[in-house]
Every structure is written in C-alpha cells, then in structure tokens.
Amino acid sequence: MLLFEPFNIGHKLELANRIVMPPVVTRLATVEGKVTEELIQRYLLYAQGGAGLVITEAVSVKEQKSGQLLRLNHDEFIPGLKELTDRVHSESDAKIAPQIIHFLKIARSGYRQKVEDLSLEEVKEIPLLFAAAAARAREAGFDAVELHYAHAYTMSSFLSRHNHRKDEYGRSLKGRLRLAEDVVIASRQAVGDDFVLGARINGDEFTLGGNALNQSRPIASRLAELGLDYVSVSAGGRFEDAVPREGEALDPYTGYSGHRSMPPKWMQEKVNVYLAADIRQTLRNGGHSTPVITAGRIPTAKVAEEILQDGQADLIGIARPILCDPYWPKKSREGREKEILKCIYCNECREAEGAFEEVTCVQWKKKDGSIAPPKP
C-alpha cells in the first residue's frame, strides 16, 4: 500500500510512511507553556504507534495568556522541547514538527480582537515572532516546522475575506496575502533552505462571505512559489459563526464551520478531501510538486489508500482515530484492523479541549474508572 511506503518531503525529510498525526491539543503543558512528562508520554504514544510524522499541538510564538499551550517565544522553552524531540527520535522512527501559531486576544466578556485592531507596528512584528520561534524549533531538534495559517487565528484571519483592513494588509487578495508571504520569507531565512517548512491552510472557511476554493487556490499557489515544502489543507473553525455561550469566551469550533474543521459522525467520510484534491491539482497545473496533506473523517487505512491511489493527496492526516488508538498506523500496517479501538467521531475530545481539560478519548475509560489508551 502507498500509505505505508516511505515518503520524502522536498528531498529534505524522509518519512517512514504517509501517515501524519495532525495537531491535537492535549492540555498537558503547564500554564506557563512548559513541557511536562505527561505531554512527552502522549507524543511518544503517537510516535511509537507508527505515524510517519507527528505534528504537535499549536505552539505560541508570542508571550501572552493562553492556558496550557506550549510556547516558543523565548529560549527558556528550548530545553523542554529538546527533551521531547530527543525522546521521540530515540524511541521511535517518527519525525516530529511543531505547529507554530499567533493568536489574537479574546475574553469571556465577549471581547474579541480582530486583525483590523492591530497597529501597523504590531503587524510588522509578527513575521519576526514566527521566524524566531521557527529558529528555536530547529535548535530544539524538531524535523520541520508548520505555520498555522488555518482556522480562527491571526494568520488565517489576515488571509480571510473577513479581513477588513484598509491598508496594505487588506483591501484585496494581494493585500491579505502580504503578511503570510512575509512570515514564510522570514521563517525560511531563520531555518535555512535545507529545513522543511510547511503550512496548514483552510481550503474553505464555510462561513457566509468567507474564503472558499476561489481564494485558497491562489493562496496555496503563492505559498508554493515562495518555496513552502508542503501544504496541509483543513477547513472551517471560524469565529464568524461561533455559538455564543454565556460566561464563556467565544469558541470558533461551535458553529457549522467548526464542525467542518472536525467533522462529527453525522458527516460523511472524506467530507473535506475534495478541498485538498482541488488544491493539489491547482498546484500541479501550476508546475508545483508541493506535497499536500488532507484530513477529516478518514477512519481506515483502506479509505486513506483510496485517497492516495486517486491522487487526491500525498499524505494523510489521521487525528481523532490516532488519538482514540495511537497504534492505528501499526495495527493497520500489520493487518490487525479488528484490534483497533475505532473512533466514533463523538467529539468528546473536542469538548474537553474547549473546557481546558486533559484531552483523552472517552473510550479510554475502563470499568473500574481508570483511564488508559489501547495497548500496542
């Protein structure tokens, strides 16, 4: 199967297979953004389970209040992350990359900072923050860096048609792309040409008036022109259609766009794959061989293989099924599908993340009340 064959990203990084564990928040970091032993053990599970590439939960590039979110905004965070990468590399064949993120302020009072609120000085600082974090990631021993350009956060919000800035960082697609271009250029300079630099984007925002494929095609093409090593295609997860809850900060994963980001059980399998397939074809038509990652309700190796055989993507993101059974890749490769604890797409894991609780699978709970993941 193609799924279990090695894959080389840009002749820079060879993966043992085409399975990617995309970012899944664990809530296992400290509130100061430090690595814990519990967090290391969680990522070791994913790595030892057989995923070719493990991408961590989002890692902040800026010092700000963010709950149990990993950080790379200062050199003090390098040692903890270095321990994580050393353990992954010594105890598995997996490669590991951080997804680095910049996000805007949000409060329980209902206040939400928007890209229009940022001063020009604040905007121009963002590429420097990403570049510094990317350089620290390489120093910490990561194999690649993923820029977070998707969902509800700063970079995606600049790219979005919901960006209403009136200066050079808005007004048109060219203006909305400017910051994304600046971040790629600065980050590339920071990590060097021999290091894998990718980005996750939205193929469609699934909000009224937001980006759709007409916008994501030229966005992906421009990022490929700038030398991005891969494009991971996600969807939705926007504030514009979030459901307000009294006394809580607005959650971008509560509306329809949020459901498209993490498709629940009532949505069809492969519901978002057509977005990656379209962007991949756009890149190929433009002469770019940039690998494309797809994700979203891909429950089995058979379904993943069909996507690869049909040329709809180059790498397969398997998030919730691997959270449910970290040995999904290993058991699938060995023909032990019947032993896999299967994700039921109930999104209880998503609810835990939104409540700032440790993220586990609801199926890990034993009859005696203990909680433990499946065995190898």
Tens-level pLDDT at each residue, the chain (376 residues): 999 999 999 999 999 999 999 999 999 999 999 999 999 999 999 999 999 999 999 999 998 877 789 999 999 999 999 999 999 999 999 999 999 999 999 888 888 999 999 999 999 999 999 999 999 999 999 999 999 999 999 999 999 999 999 999 999 999 999 999 999 999 999 999 999 999 999 999 999 999 999 999 999 999 999 999 999 999 999 999 999 988 888 899 999 999 999 999 999 999 999 999 999 999 999 999 999 999 999 999 999 999 999 999 999 999 999 999 999 999 999 999 999 999 999 999 999 988 889 999 999 998 888 899 999 9
Cα angle, residue 147 at apex, residues 217 and 206 outer, rounded to 5° = 45
Residue 113: phi and psi, rounded to 5, are -70, 140
Kind and range of the H or E run holding 29: none
Q: How far apart (Å, rounded) are the C-alpha atoms in residues 289 and 285?
A: 10
Structure confidence at residue 66 (pLDDT): 73
Q: What confidence score (pLDDT) does residue 108 get?
A: 80
Q: Among this protein's residues, is 153 annotated catalytic?
A: yes
Other Cβ atoms less than 10 A from the Cβ of 187: the count is 25
**What is the per-residue DSSP string for 211-238?**
--HHHHHHHHHHHHHTT-SEEEEE----
* Options 3.20.20.70, 3.90.226.10, 3.30.70.20, 3.40.50.300; CATH of 2-364: 3.20.20.70
Domain boundaries, the chain: 2-364
Q: State the pLDDT at residue 65.
A: 74
pLDDT number for residue 355 = 83
Q: What is the pTM of this model?
A: 0.97
To the nearest 10°, report the CA torsion of 229, 99, 73, 108: 140
**CB-CB neighbours of 170 under 10 Å:** 16
Counting beta carbons within 10 angstroms of the beta carbon of residue 262, is it exposed (0 to 12), middle (13 to 18) or buried (19 or more)?
buried
**pLDDT value of residue 370:** 87
Helix runs in the chain, H state only:
37-48, 78-91, 120-139, 154-159, 173-191, 213-225, 256-261, 273-285, 301-309, 320-324, 328-333, 348-354
d(CA 265, CA 343): 9
Among the options 43, 46, 149, 153, which is catalytic? Answer: 153
